[in-house]
Amino acid sequence: MSDASILSPKGFRAAGVACGLKSVAGKKDLAILVADQAAGAAAVFTTNQVAAAPVLLSRETIKRGRPRAVVVNSGNANCCTGEQGLADAREMVRLAAEAVGAQPDEMLVCSTGKIGEPMPMDKVAAGIRDAAQALRSDAQAAADFAAAIMTTDTVTKTCCLTDRIGKADVTVAGACKGSGMIAPNMATMLAFITTDAHIGSRALTAALRTAVAGSFNLVSVDSDTSTNDTVLCLANGQAGGAPLAPGTADFDAFAEALEALCAETAKALVRDGEGATKFIEITVEGAATDDDARLVARSIAQSQLCKTAFFGEDPNWGRIACAAGYSGAEFDPSGMSIVLEGLTIFQDGRPTDYAEADAAERMKRREVRVRVLLSEGAGRAAWWTSDLSHDYVSINADYRS
Amino acid sequence: MSDASILSPKGFRAAGVACGLKSVAGKKDLAILVADQAAGAAAVFTTNQVAAAPVLLSRETIKRGRPRAVVVNSGNANCCTGEQGLADAREMVRLAAEAVGAQPDEMLVCSTGKIGEPMPMDKVAAGIRDAAQALRSDAQAAADFAAAIMTTDTVTKTCCLTDRIGKADVTVAGACKGSGMIAPNMATMLAFITTDAHIGSRALTAALRTAVAGSFNLVSVDSDTSTNDTVLCLANGQAGGAPLAPGTADFDAFAEALEALCAETAKALVRDGEGATKFIEITVEGAATDDDARLVARSIAQSQLCKTAFFGEDPNWGRIACAAGYSGAEFDPSGMSIVLEGLTIFQDGRPTDYAEADAAERMKRREVRVRVLLSEGAGRAAWWTSDLSHDYVSINADYRS
């Protein structure tokens, strides 16, 4: 593992501290990330009607302000907390902005953790003070930030890539948390992306929306979409070069890099899915449209029967064909084939004479690729999911609200 | 338990025999049900694009013919079996019709079990001969029929009710199978309904479609919809009286009875859901429309996180509120309340000061009723589901395709 982190792009500082929001003493639970100068900011928030106070507030800030920093806490989601929750989120912004020397409309806020409990503001205020003082741009600071945003995650998740774009070396990096409640349209998931690209908020928003559609919105752990999810991208322009403008080759190159970064980050979420023993990639080709392909891929990725079969390492083409059939996409079943880790187990609507031992052996791999081939057109899509294990049930049945 | 069964309506005969389709020797796996005279027939089939051969064939028969009998096998679903599968389904119809003295267009066929395997027609032919000879109208024959249609079911499921409709005592009875892959729009589920009502096919079809929408389409065990599902209703008119015609009070009374019968049958499916330890009823009131209420109820009923919380006996209002929030229905979260077995645990968008021990005690019940109250309008809906247990994972991970 390299030192590549959310602080690899030039001009960002971060910190993560413990302020007592998590039940285990000393566990980091409050983080701050700051761009020393702003270029652009963009965010995509949960589509859940029951949105947490920080989501409601940050949605407004991103529209009106020019954010260059974010304060994040884990352990308490500040959701279903009424007017007091909104007031607390505003106070977190005010305190954090003051502590790092920014304006309140430059500061976003994200929370994740238990819902329905009042935010213990005395602890939060102390944490903000400590984090602001600890802000640095080294690898340890990035690691502290990544640790402080975790909830049921078992590992921190960080991705980074650098690309030559125009005359500048642009770095894009992400840190995210999320393990359960992972589903399209923003799951219990926070992703923070930093870049030194020179790009304004409008162009960055366009690039981020496309990137999210091709990454975070294509993963499922359990099909539940939470109240707090946020993907946030801060750009500070320190890579230099002309501002990236939509319609140019340089913008396209940046958008591609951003989507690649988001895809790696999204896959990291699935790999750390609650109770996951396997990473499953579903690709669908030959559907009438890309939308139809996505319906089929999602239906398989979210089928409890397919997910338990993956856990049981069972090459169960029947459940895959069945989930494709009820996906809502129209296709001729007699033109469907299924390829499992390179082995065609189902062809033109019927099982092949594949060797069971061979198929079973391939199912034992930790990463399993399932290709579904239809005969309708050129529509294609991919989806990433985990298996459904005993540990998933244990984690979620034993967790206490 | 009374002797009430699928043979309680006058004028039906049934049988169930073992012909070697199931791996356990001697387990019943072939059944026949016959109405001695036809009045009306109606059926609702799976919406899965990957429909089994018997579904494709029976769909045509119900459109063209005047069915009064059905041959059913378990152990082999005759699905993904290509042209040979269709030929085998046709041959089953021909053999069964001949054996009971009916025309081929009076005979329907249903299959359930493993998919992708050729139907062993020699065994099936012998089973059809044996079943035709065993046809009787007593309680044992009904029990044999109910046993022969089972797959992973742990109990046979039979319901029956009698109503005074006009001047006739009309009986409606059902036998069904289904335990996994239970989801709206026909799951791996076969339901056979007999009635001695005097009603033609067109009126019966209208009544059955309404009844299915208010029953079988409101249950989830695992949200998977199978390739073979069928609800079939045969009426023979032996209760006497004038033919029941839509738009009359008598028809409405019959339709209500049919829906009540279907609802009881659907609930029996959920109670026997794979690995289910609890029966959960979700009701939603106060949504903008009935459709919105249904979205909310279904979203909660199908949420893996809610279902594992039910298994863990955790009064987790947060997961319920969250699943309501991403259901697709629009509502004001600050007007939402949640009542769990009579205890209001969440009111106007915030948790109440309920006693945790009290809530936990109520969650221990085998049947749990969850009411979600919104403040948008008069829309209401119900949904029935089971919890998600370790046994569900074991049953479906260990099952071999």
pLDDT tens digits along A317-338: 988 998 999 899 999 999 999 9
Restricting to A residues 147-186, those with a Cβ less than 8 Å away from any Cβ of B are: 180-181, 183, 185
Burial category of B25 from C-beta neighbours within 10 Å (exposed 0-12, middle 13-18, buried 19 and up): exposed
- Alpha-carbon distance B31 to B74, whole Å? 9
- Alpha-carbon distance A289 to B323, whole Å? 29
CB contact under 8 A, B308 and A351: no
- Alpha-carbon distance B91 to A338, whole Å? 30
For chain B, domain boundaries: 12-271, 279-398
> Closest-CA residue in chain A for B352?
A116
Does B326 touch chain A if contact means CB atoms closer than 8 Å?
yes
Contact A138, A7 (CB under 8 A): yes
Instruction: Indicate if the pLDDT at residue A274 is higher than 90.
Output: no
Q: How far is CA B164 from CA A54, B161, B238, B296, in A?
A: 60, 10, 14, 36
Q: Is the backbone of residue B271 left (phi > 0), alpha (psi -120 to 50) or beta?
A: alpha
Contact A190, A216 (CB under 8 A): no
Contacts of B183 in chain A (CB under 8 A): 326
Give the ipTM.
0.73
CB contact under 8 A, A305 and B180: yes
Q: Which of A98-107, A268-277, A301-310, B295-304 comes out lowest in average pLDDT? A: A268-277
- Alpha-carbon distance B279 to B271, whole Å? 6
Work out the average pLDDT over A68-81: 93
pLDDT tens for chain B, residues 1 to 401:
356 899 999 999 999 999 999 988 899 999 999 999 888 999 998 888 888 999 999 999 999 878 999 999 999 999 989 999 999 999 999 999 999 999 999 999 999 988 888 999 999 999 999 999 999 999 999 999 999 999 878 888 888 999 999 889 999 999 988 765 544 333 468 999 999 999 999 999 999 999 998 888 887 655 555 677 889 999 999 999 999 999 999 999 999 999 999 998 888 888 887 778 899 999 999 999 999 999 999 999 988 889 989 999 999 898 899 899 989 999 999 999 999 999 999 999 999 999 999 999 999 999 999 999 999 999 999 999 988 888 878 877 775 54
Contacts of A113 in chain B (CB under 8 A): none
Helices (H), ranges, B328-389: 356-363
The helix (run of H) or strand (run of E) holding residue B58 is: helix B53-64
- Mutate one of A396, A398, A399, A400 to test the B interface: name it (highest B CB count within 10 A): A396
> Closest-CA residue in chain A for B188?
A322
CB contact under 8 A, B350 and A81: yes
> Closest-CA residue in chain A for B299?
A224
| Strand boundaries in A12-134, DSSP class E | 12-17, 30-35, 40-45, 69-76, 107-114
Tell me what pLDDT residue B217 has. 83
Restricting to A residues 241-300, those with a Cβ less than 8 Å away from any Cβ of B are: none
Tell me what pLDDT residue B27 has. 94
Instruction: Indicate if the pLDDT at residue A302 is higher than 80.
Output: yes
Instruction: Please tell me the CATH code under which domain A12-271 is placed.
Output: 3.60.70.12
Instruction: Indicate if the pLDDT at residue A9 is higher than 50.
Output: yes
Work out the average pLDDT over A176-185: 60
- Alpha-carbon distance A246 to A165, whole Å? 14
Residue from A181, A266, A157, A259 nearest A216 by CA: A266
The token duo for A103 is: 């304006």
- Alpha-carbon distance A342 to A35, whole Å? 45
Catalytic residue among A46, A156, A188, A195: A188
Residue from A160, A4, A179, A151 nearest A72 by CA: A151
3-state secondary structure of A314: coil
Give the position of tokens 């690995």.
B275
Q: Report percent pLDDT > 70 for chain B.
A: 94
CB contact under 8 A, B224 and A304: yes
- Alpha-carbon distance A172 to A10, whole Å? 10
The helix (run of H) or strand (run of E) holding residue B41 is: strand B40-45
Tell me what pLDDT residue B237 has. 93
How long is chain B? 401
Count, in order, helices (H) and strands (E) of chain A: 11, 16
Q: List phi, psi (to 5°) of B162.
A: -125, 140
Q: How far is CA A60 from CA A42, A55, A90, A378, B334, in A?
A: 12, 9, 11, 40, 19
The token duo for B385 is: 């589901």
3-state secondary structure of B305: helix
DSSP A33-47: EEESS-SEEEEEE--
Contacts of B336 in chain A (CB under 8 A): 50
Residue from A77, A30, A73, A42 nearest A206 by CA: A42
- Alpha-carbon distance A26 to A350, whole Å? 57
CB contact under 8 A, A325 and B396: no
pLDDT tens digits along A87-144: 999 999 999 999 999 999 999 999 998 888 899 999 999 999 999 999 999 999 999 9
- Alpha-carbon distance B367 to B271, whole Å? 9
Tell me what pLDDT residue A160 has. 92
Residue from A295, A324, A280 nearest B80 by CA: A324
Count, in order, helices (H) and strands (E) of chain B: 11, 16
> Closest-CA residue in chain A for B311?
A397
Give the position of tokens 């992972």.
A182
CB contact under 8 A, A333 and B80: yes
- Alpha-carbon distance B385 to B222, whole Å? 9
Does B304 touch chain A if contact means CB atoms closer than 8 Å?
yes
Contacts of A317 in chain B (CB under 8 A): 116, 401
Contact B325, A227 (CB under 8 A): yes
pLDDT tens digits along B167-207: 899 999 999 887 655 443 334 689 999 999 999 999 999 99
pLDDT tens digits along B46-103: 888 888 999 999 999 999 878 999 999 999 999 989 999 999 999 999 999 999 999 9
The token duo for A188 is: 């219990």
Tell me what pLDDT residue A228 has. 78
- Alpha-carbon distance A331 to A325, whole Å? 8
Sheet of A107-114, strand order: A12-17, A30-35, A69-76, A107-114
Hey, which residues of B are catalytic here?
Answer: 188
End-to-end CA distance of chain A: 36
CA-CA-CA-CA torsion sign (B375, B376, B379, B381) = negative
pLDDT tens digits along A346-356: 999 999 999 99
pTM of the model: 0.79
Tell me what pLDDT residue B187 has. 40
- Mutate one of B284, B310, B326 to test the A interface: name it (highest A CB count within 10 A): B326
Residue from B60, B174, B75, B190 nearest B124 by CA: B75
Q: Residue A170's pLDDT band (boundaries 50, 70, 90)?
A: very high
- Alpha-carbon distance B66 to B37, whole Å? 10
For B279-398, give the CATH class: alpha beta
3-state secondary structure of A309: helix
Cβ-nearest to B49 among A50, A303, A333 = A333
> Strand B190-195 vs strand B230-235: parallel, antiparallel, or unpaired?
parallel
Cβ-nearest to B50 among A315, A324, A396 = A324
Give the position of tokens 């989120």.
A89
